[in-house]
Amino acid sequence: MPGNSPTTLAARSPQRSLVVLRPLGTLVFGALLLGTVLLGANALKLAAGAAHQWRNATGGLIGLGLLLGSGYLVARGNQPRLLTIGREELHLGPLGAEQNQPAETIPLSSIVAYTYWLRVLRFRIFAQYHLRLELADGRVLHLADRPGTRPNDPTGTVRLDALAKRLARRANSGTRRRLLFYETRTARVLLWSSWALLAVGLGLLGLGHETGLLLVFPAIGYWASYYLGRGAAEVTE
């Protein structure tokens, strides 16, 4: 029958996507990098017998703490899952070596709000969709596309992008789609503030005050993160 064409059946059938639970974020990678730099630089200074040994030891301990903390997050993050969206629910099941993990069914009615964005890494070679769900019981689930493919991956899976768009169509009218931070007025105010800090910092440097660097680097960092984050917001609008 015309109503049961392959295209129609594919549109009605549950879609599923390979995802990771608690994906690693930019802050984790930044902490790994900063921890490595602090630990390495201060260890070299201590070995060379430089002055202010206590300051170098403190910097090394901070670096070690960042490495241990981010290493723990790496170990517990990126857990593979198979996400399926039905007419009234999301099903989050185990995948591969994680078969001992329990499956979970999430009614669409229990989703209070969600956020959806695209993260582009490695000079736009690697793009990963992210979906953050806020549930009625107070929990927050952060899901993202699983990078790469494996020989035993289930066939017929789609990108998380397709499931997020279907979720937007099937969610209750009371379910809110939250804006990314970089779409908010607060982010724009901070952007204007970063320009002001940059001007003040450059002025201090021009007068010979090295403390201006304490204003220049954060201002440039926020300016760069704003435009990268805003680009992701525009992709998913």
pTM beyond cutoff 0.85: no
Show the beta-strand stretches assigned E in 70-110.
Answer: 79-85, 89-94, 104-107
Q: pLDDT tens digit string along 82-103?
A: 999 988 899 998 876 555 677 8
C-alpha atoms less than 13 angstroms from C-alpha of 153 in its C-beta half-sphere: 18
Question: What is the reported pLDDT for 5?
Answer: 52
- Cβ(88)–Cβ(105) under 8 Å? no
Of the candidates 167, 178, 162, the residue with the CA atom closest to the CA atom of residue 110: 167
- pLDDT (mean) for 29-34: 75
Of 29, 83, 35, nearest to 60 by C-alpha is 35
Q: Check residues 19 and 217 and name the one with the higher pLDDT.
A: 19
Q: Is the pLDDT of residue 7 over 50?
A: no
3-state secondary structure of 218: helix
Mind listing the pLDDT tens digit for each residue in 164-210?
889 888 887 778 888 778 778 888 888 888 888 889 888 888 888 77
Cα dihedral 109, 114, 118, 122, rounded to 10, equals: -110
Q: What is the mean pLDDT of residues 66-88?
A: 82
Residue 6 scores a pLDDT above 60:
no
Ranking 13-17, 18-22, 102-106, 121-125 by mean pLDDT, the lowest is 121-125
Residue 221 pLDDT exceeds 90: no
Region 34-51: mean pLDDT is 79
